[in-house]
Amino acid sequence: MADVSLKNLHKTFDITEAVRGINLDIVDNEFLVLVGPSGCGKSTVLRLIAGLEEITEGNVLIEGNIVNDIPPKDRDIAMVFQSYALYPHMTVYENMSFGLRLRKYSKNEINKRVLDAAKILNISELLDRRPKQLSGGQRQRVAMGRAIVRNPKVFLFDEPLSNLDAKMRGQMRTEIKKLHQHLKTTIIYVTHDQVEAMTLADRIVVMNDGIIEQVGTPDEMYNAPKTHFVASFIGSPSMNFIPCQVIKTNEDLYIKINDKLYFSVPKERLDRYKVLINKEAILGIRPEHLTNAKQHIHDMYEDFNAKVKVLEPMGMDTMVFFDISEAEVCARCDPKSVGKVQSDMTFTIDKSQIHLIDIKTNKVI
């Protein structure tokens, strides 16, 4: 298998700079996910690695070797696209073996590789069928099998689950995770779906407007976002953002939401938040850290009241929406403890989980 490195990678289309100075090291056997909104440059990065786009500036290295001028077929990589791109007149076996036949592998070797891949993907009984006889999930397995039989150094996945329904996407996420554990190969995976990124990745790369916003594990992305963008993009439901001010009274700091609502700053965060005294900021808090009032004696928890605006029952939880100043806020609550719409309700905020964002830099302090 192989490691992949991107050094000062740029890609410009006419006057549009799609990728702007990407530097990234992907270690051998890693499952790395590039995630971000449409147009952020993630698929372009994948195509640059594959050799399907010409590099404007910078280098792509595979196993320490610069591959900028090496054709895609000679880079020893395999790519699985959003569209399955199967030949409709060929059987599953013929689709999976087609690339090997072009490379003049022996019949025995081709048969062994196809049968092994089919067994890994649970499609052994489908080898005689044609694509039109398969479901969307089965077609995607065949497309993955066509890549597996090549035994490449690196697998590239470009939004492979986008055409599947929600249930099938969940099943295929599990299959891809199992595949990585079985093959122990390097996988670079592109998606706009942060749930896919969180469930699949060893590390996540969040991209925005052609640059990398943050690189880290799923846990780091969720619990320690470094920018406003990452905090807003990772998590479902997304993080709440409430305009605020940091004010000082004697030796204590408070987060002022409005004239009636203040939260004291936890002692261990006093030094961090001093830089924001008397400045406009944004308080970020995830819905699960903002819930119905509970008995507590810990000073990290603080209660406040708000009027219920909308309820969204989710089974085990109920999402409660209410307004704080001009911000709409969502809290994840116990269904048995929620008030009725337009009623006053007491909520508890976990201050150990707050994120204060400097509005001038958009960075989390």
Quick: pLDDT tens for 263-305: 999 888 899 999 999 889 999 999 999 998 877 767 789 999 9
> What pLDDT does residue 331 have?
95
Of the candidates 222, 348, 228, 246, the residue with the CA atom closest to the CA atom of residue 297? 348
Using CA atoms, how far apart are residues 95 and 89, in angstroms rounded to an integer?
9
**Residue 223 sits in the same domain as residue 249:** no
> What pLDDT does residue 221 have?
95
Using CA atoms, how far apart are residues 41 and 18, in angstroms rounded to an integer?
5
> What pLDDT does residue 256 have?
92
Average pLDDT over every residue of 236-264: 90
Q: Which domain holds residue 260?
A: 240-364
pTM assigned to the model: 0.89
The three-class DSSP label of residue 259 is coil
Average pLDDT over every residue of 44-65: 94
End of a domain among 233, 267, 287? 233
Residue 42 has pLDDT above 80, yes or no: yes
Q: Tell me, what CATH number does 248's domain have?
A: 2.40.50.140
**Residue 86 sits in the same domain as residue 145:** yes
**Residue 261 sits in the same domain as residue 359:** yes
**Residue 218 sits in the same domain as residue 250:** no
Residue 89 has pLDDT above 90, yes or no: yes
Using CA atoms, how far apart are residues 81 and 310, in angstroms rounded to an integer?
40
**Residue 97 sits in the same domain as residue 222:** yes
Are 161 and 4 contacting, i.e. CB atoms less than 8 angstroms apart? no
> What pLDDT does residue 365 have?
92
End of a domain among 233, 248, 277? 233
- Which residues have C-beta within 8 Å of that of residue 154, sequence separation ≥ 6? 1, 2, 4, 49, 62, 76, 77, 78, 185, 186, 187, 188
Residue 347 has pLDDT above 80, yes or no: yes
> What pLDDT does residue 295 have?
72
> What pLDDT does residue 172 have?
82
pLDDT tens for residues 300-319? 899 999 999 999 999 999 99
Average pLDDT over every residue of 9-23: 93
Average pLDDT over every residue of 24-40: 94
Crossing angle of helices 136-148 and 92-102, in 10° steps, is: 20
Mean pLDDT of the chain: 91
> What pLDDT does residue 69 have?
92
**Residue 85 sits in the same domain as residue 228:** yes
**Residue 180 sits in the same domain as residue 313:** no
Percentage above 90 pLDDT, the chain: 65
> What pLDDT does residue 169 have?
83
**Residue 185 sits in the same domain as residue 309:** no
Q: Tell me, what CATH number does 146's domain have?
A: 3.40.50.300
**Residue 62 sits in the same domain as residue 108:** yes
Q: How many CA atoms lie within 13 A of 252 on its CB side?
A: 9
**Residue 292 sits in the same domain as residue 228:** no
> What pLDDT does residue 109 have?
93
The three-class DSSP label of residue 111 is helix
**Residue 141 sits in the same domain as residue 246:** no
Considering its fold, how many domains does the chain have in total?
Answer: 2
> What pLDDT does residue 299 have?
77
Question: Quick one: pLDDT band at residue 93, thresholds 50, 70, 90?
Answer: very high
pLDDT tens for residues 96-151? 999 899 888 999 999 999 999 898 888 999 999 999 999 888 888 898 888 888 88
**Residue 95 sits in the same domain as residue 142:** yes
End of a domain among 167, 198, 233? 233
